[in-house]
Amino acid sequence: MSTDTEFAPASVAGERGGIAPSVLEQLAEIAMLIGSARDAMSDEMVTRLARAISEGATLLDRLTRNEGLLQLLRVLERPEGQHLLIGLSKALDLMDRQVAAAPPSSGGIAGLWKLAREPGAQDAIRLLSILSQCWVESMRDAR
């Protein structure tokens, strides 16, 4: 028949089958650490932490019950949705640089005509047109 001492790891079992001094030292160290943390904490720290948790929980609750945001998240979960977002962020970055470098528009019908003839501008108008059509359709479906 075996005893508890036989099963206990060497570092835990002491010479007489009790807790080894090294384990006691570790436990004392952990207790000191907890005591130290308790002493270091203040009401103000607890208040700030609780406020952050409370507001965080409220925000999470609102986000997780917002059907629109959840649908958006579902779309963005798909790889093509993520590529769309990455593309959009790159486009915004490029746009920012190009707008900063471009001279001010000359204005007038001639300027508008010149812009309309650019293939890039036509692509942009087509993209916005498709987006608008799809948006209107989805809004009709939602009703």
Partner 1 sequence: MQILIVGGGTGGTILGNSLARRLASEIRAGKVRITLLSASDKHMYQPGLLYVAFGQMTPDQLYRDEASLLESSIDFHVDPVTEFHLDRNEVKTGSGKTYAYDLLVIATGARIVPQEVPGMAEGSENFYTEEGALRLHKRLMEFRGGTVAMVVSLPHKCPVAPIEAMFLLHDFFKARNIRDKVKLQYNYPVNHVHATANVARWAKPEFDKAGIEYETLFNVREVDPVKKIVYSEEGTECKYDLLIAIPPHRGMEMVETNNLGLGGWIPTDRFKLTMNDHDNVYVIGDATNIPVSKTGSAAHFEAEVASDNIVSVIKTGVPVREYDGRVYCFIEAGFDRATHNAFDYINLPELKPPTKSVHWFKVAYNQMYWSTVRGLL
Residue type, 49: L
Q: Which stretch binds partner 1 (CB under 8 A): 25-33, 47-55, 94-102, 124-132?
A: 47-55
The site that binds partner 1 (CB under 8 A) totals a number of residues, namely: 14
Counting contacts by CB under 8 A, is residue 15 touching partner 1?
A: no
Distance CA(48)–CA(56), nearest Å, equals: 12
What is the DSSP code (8-state) at residue 19? B
d(CA 103, CA 99): 8
Least distance (Å) between residue 65 CB and partner 1: 8
Q: Which phi and psi angles does 19 have, rounded to 5°?
A: -80, 135
The nearer residue to partner 1, 22 or 36, going by C-beta atoms, is 36
Residues that bind partner 1 (CB under 8 A): 38, 41, 43, 46-47, 49-51, 53-55, 57-58, 61
